[in-house]
Each structure stands twice: as structure tokens, then as C-alpha cells.
Amino acid sequence: MRHMAILAAGMLLAIAPTAFAVSIKTQEVTFASGAETISAYLSAPESPGRYPALVVIHEDWGLTGWVKEQTRKLAEQGYVALAVDLYRGQVAHDPAFAYELTVATPTDRVLRDLEAAIHFLYVRPDVNKEKMGTIGWSAGGKWALLLAVHDPFMAACVSNYGSAPTDPAEIEKIHAPVLAIFAGDDRYITANDVHDFETAMNSAHKSIDIKVYPNAGPGFENPNNTLAYREGAAIDAWQRTVTFLDEHLK
């Protein structure tokens, strides 16, 4: 019986990141980014209070239903989560168009949009202004790291299979603790790339936590990506993400 009780406790701990979801509210919002007005998907806890906030950065495909689902899941964990539409309403339905959208989106515009999103969150009364972070997937993972380079006030950064900087000058600017999740079978981000990033971060005495999932390709967390999806790795990556964010933002 004692063994069963310990086993049951272990199972409860394993599912803890998703077991205590809170009620949330969602809405489509707009705000200024330079001379433009851009849109985003906002999810937040329904109960009054001040919560840590996250800028959510979509993958190459755009602000899809899956990205909105991740935004809601983060809100259920007690975060005000804002998913920015960096593609101005365009969503890809095939890899070629997703690639086209990604390369056609200027980096300076991305950074401007993400900083505008931070400002949008910063002035909200339900946001703890000292606890703001970012999370992204694929191209969004790259942009999440880029935001950590350019914004010294980021308190946490999660990059999922996004290309990472190795330039010492850029690494030196990162103040946020970083969780970097990679796919072992990624054709574009190699094991050497991951090693170089980790080495650069450690050499600069930055906080870095790296997890590589073998036999998984980029997109393995998204079940809509039927060829890439790996359920076990996706579950583990989500639990690692929630644990990391809770450690640094709560």
C-alpha cells in the first residue's frame, strides 16, 4: 500500500503543470506598432489580480488555431498571454508558403511588433510588470531569443526549435534565463549549432537550460503537423516549459 501511495503521489506530481488550470477569458485585440495597427490574441486569467505576462510568438505558419490554443493553455497556468500576429492576418497552409511568409517578414518589423506587444501588456492593470517573458516555436523560437537579446527586461525566454545566436556580442545582451528546446532530427539546426549556442551562453555565464529530443523533427509539439508530431516529447516539452516559467516568473 505504501508503494502504491508513493506511485500515486508521483503521478500527481507528473501532471501538476496542467492539473490546476484556472478559468480564463480571451479576446482579439489591436494596438499600435509604429505607424501601423496590428492585431493579437489575448488570453488571461478571469479572476482579478496581477499576473506574470508572456509574449507568445507563432511558428512559421502564422497565428494558427494551435498557437491560440497554446496561448489559452498558458493563461490557464496563471499567465496573461498575448500572441502577436506578425504576418498581418496571413496564415500558411503548406510549407512553401510558410517559408515565404517567414523570409518576407523583416526582422526590424518583428522586433518593433514584439516591443509594442510588451508595451500593451505593461500598461494592463492585471500584469505584474516585473515578471514578463516570451515563448515561441520555430521561427517564433528564433524571434523569442532575438527579443531576449534586444530587451534587457525579459525575465524568461522559451525557444522551441528556433535558431539561436552565437555572436558573443549578442549573447552578452541576454539577461533572461533561457529554456531552449531542440529537435534531434532538425536538418537546419544541427547538433553543432546547439553545442555552439550552449557553449557561448555558458562562456558568458548566462542561465541556459537545453533539452534535445532525439528522433524528433521541428514541429514535434504540434499534433496538426502529423508527420513531425511526437506525443511523448510534446508532453515532456510542455511540462518542462511550465516548470521553467513558474520558476522564473512566479
What CATH number is given to the structural domain containing 59? 3.40.50.1820
pLDDT for the residue 21: 83
The confidence score (pLDDT) of residue 7 equals 37
Q: What is the mean pLDDT of the chain?
A: 93
The total number of structural domains in the chain stands at: 1
Q: Is residue 1 part of a domain?
A: no
Specify the DSSP element, H or E, that contains 124. Answer: none
Residue 17 lies in a domain: no
Mean pLDDT per 10-residue segment, the chain (250 residues): 39 45 95 98 97 98 98 98 98 95 97 98 97 98 98 97 95 98 96 97 98 96 94 98 98
Phi-psi region of 98 (alpha: psi -120 to 50; beta: other; left: phi over 0): alpha
In this structure, are strands 208-213 and 51-57 parallel, antiparallel, or unpaired? unpaired
Position 20 scores a pLDDT of 64
Residue 198 lies inside a defined structural domain of this protein: yes
User: Is residue 82 a contact partner of residue 121, using CB atoms and an 8 Å limit?
Assistant: yes
Specify if 117 maps to a domain.
yes
Q: Is residue 15 part of a domain?
A: no
* Residue 158 β-bridge partners: 135, 179
The burial of 35, by beta-carbon neighbours within 10 Å (0-12 exposed, 13-18 middle, 19 or more buried), is given as exposed
Q: What is the structure's pLDDT at 108? A: 96
In a domain, 5, yes or no: no
- Per-residue pLDDT tens digits for 210-219: 999 999 999 9
- Residue 83: the pLDDT is 98
What whole-number distance in Å separates Cα of residue 22 and Cα of residue 45? Answer: 6
Query: In whole angstroms, what is the distance from residue 203 CA to residue 182 CA?
Result: 20
- Is 240:158 a contact under the CB 8 Å cutoff? no
Domain-located, residue 175: yes
* Rounded CA separation 53/48 (Å): 14
DSSP β-bridge partners for residue 183: 213
- Domain-located, residue 16: no
Q: State which residues form the domain around 201.
A: 22-249
Quick check: 59 and 86 in contact, CB under 8 A?
no
Residue 78 has a CB neighbour count (10 Å cut-off) of 21
**Predicted pLDDT at 241:** 98
Residues with Cβ within 8 Å of 130's Cβ and at least 6 positions away in sequence, in order, are 155
